[in-house]
Amino acid sequence: MINIKTEEEIELIRENNLLVSATLAEVGRHIKPGISTLELDAIAEEFIRSHGAVPAFLGYGGFPNTLCISLNEQVVHGIPSSKLVLKESDIVSVDCGTIMKGFYGDSAYTFTVGEVSEDVAKLLKVTKESLCKGAMKAKAGNRVGDIASAVQLHAELNGFSVVRELVGHGLGRNLHEEPEVPNFGSRGRGPLLKVGMVLCIEPMINMGTKSVIFEQDGWTVRTKDRKPSAHFEYAVAITKDGPDVLTDFNVIENAIKQ
Ligand code: MG
Ligand code: MG
């Protein structure tokens, strides 16, 4: 069943996603060569708790930390570690969730450490554009497949590949609600979109093959060919006036510019 949210409920989901955005901005300020992913995790946990919320991923399905931090060829669900230290030219996908006032936030951003190569910069740019193109299709009367195909088309037209094994989802009183929101598919197919739905759209786009490996740690997903992968995620509400993005990437981008 797909939960339909009231306007008041959507505002509570927005509050969560704005806190997630601010947390990602705070993490982004600390991203530099020499910092470990466990240090970034501690910064995020402290930030979330100091704003009266609870980290949503900590303990979720047994996940041990506040953030999923995935470096370079890691796609998603990387576990923070003191042994994973950022270095120049890395890319760092940070996925963050909160629980506050009975609702969830869930968003992700891929950061760069210093200068990255031109093709890696393009991967990040195209992944974020794919997310935006998908979100523009999040309108009442469209179907999930309209979002999915828009994401896939933009990624593939630019020579990249779309991960199949992991998908976006509904968001609300639960972290993962129906419907599933794949990043590949056919226009006009899948569940009908209605006013009051809130979806997390989260393309995971690979530089090389779309194939992924699930690592022995039970969490980390990486590309089979060990080429880089990018992940951007935001929550979008379907309103009578069209898509309403509940996450604020601007606050993240302003933070990392300084
Ligand atoms: Mg997420
Ligand atoms: Mg998600």
Whether residue 242 is contained in a domain is answered as: yes
> How close is the Cα of 107 to the center of ligand 2, in Å?
6
Q: How many domains does the chain have?
A: 1
Report the sign of the C-alpha dihedral through residues 65, 121, 221, 227, in that order: negative
**pLDDT score for 63:** 98
Residue 96 in any domain: the answer is: yes
How many A from CA of 179 to the centre of ligand 2? 12
Residue 16 binned pLDDT confidence (cut-offs 50, 70, 90): very high
Tell me the residue range of the domain where 237 lies: 7-257
* 189 secondary structure, DSSP code: -
Report whether 16 contacts 105 (CB < 8 A). Answer: yes
Distance between Cα 95 and ligand 1 center (Å):
5
Q: Are strands 67-71 and 91-100 parallel, antiparallel or unpaired?
A: antiparallel
Question: Is 26 a member of any domain?
Answer: yes
Assess if residue 91 is contained within a domain.
yes
Which residue's structure tokens are 């959507």?
10
| CA 34 to ligand 2 centroid distance, Å | 28
> Could you tell me if residue 1 is inside a domain?
no
d(CA 103, CA 53): 10
Residue 237, in any domain of the structure:
yes
* pLDDT at residue number 102: 98
130: phi then psi, degrees, rounded to nearest 5: -60, -40
- Report whether pLDDT(165) > 90: yes
Q: Could you tell me the distance, in angstroms and rounded to a whole number, from the CA of residue 109 to the centre of ligand 1? A: 9
Strand segments, DSSP code E, in the chain are: 54-55, 67-71, 74-76, 91-100, 103-112, 161-162, 168-170, 177-181, 198-201, 204-206, 212-214, 221-223, 229-231, 234-239, 242-245
Q: Which ligand is nearest to the CA of 108?
A: 1
**Closest alpha carbon to 78 in 231, 235, 200, 209:** 231
Q: Are 116 and 89 in contact (CB under 8 A)?
A: yes
The share of the chain scoring above pLDDT 90, in percent, equals 100
CA of 230 to the centre of ligand 2 (A): 14
| Confidence bin at 258 (pLDDT 50/70/90) | confident
Distance CA(48)–CA(135), nearest Å, equals 26
What tokens were used for 98? 């909160």
For the four alpha carbons of 42, 221, 92 and 104, in that order, the dihedral sign comes to negative
Model pLDDT for residues 42-84, shown as the tens digit of each residue: 999 999 999 999 999 999 999 999 999 999 999 999 999 999 9
CA–centroid distance, 83 to ligand 1, in Å, is 23
Specify if 2 maps to a domain. no
For residues 41 and 57, the answer to whether their CB atoms sit within 8 Å is: no
For residue 105, the CA-to-ligand 1 centroid distance in Å is 8
Residue 206 lies in a domain: yes
pLDDT of 3 over the 90 cut = yes
Q: Residues 6 or more apart from 242 whose CB is under 8 A from it?
A: 138, 139
Quote the ligand 1 centre to 14 CA distance (angstroms).
Answer: 15
Terminal CA-to-CA distance of the chain, rounded, Å? 44
User: Cα(71) to centroid of ligand 2, in Å?
Assistant: 18
Distance 92 CA to ligand 2 centre (A): 16
Query: Residue 52 region, left (φ>0) first, then alpha (ψ -120 to 50), else beta?
Result: left
Q: What's the chain's average pLDDT?
A: 98
What is the 121 CA–ligand 2 centroid distance (Å)?
Answer: 23
User: For the segment 84-109, what is each residue's pLDDT rounded down to a tens digit?
Assistant: 999 999 999 999 999 999 999 999 99
Closest ligand to C-alpha of residue 169 is: 2
How many A from CA of 211 to the centre of ligand 2?
A: 20
Identify the nearest ligand to the CA of 180 by its number.
2
In this model, does residue 144 exceed pLDDT 90? yes
Provide the CATH number for the domain around residue 68: 3.90.230.10
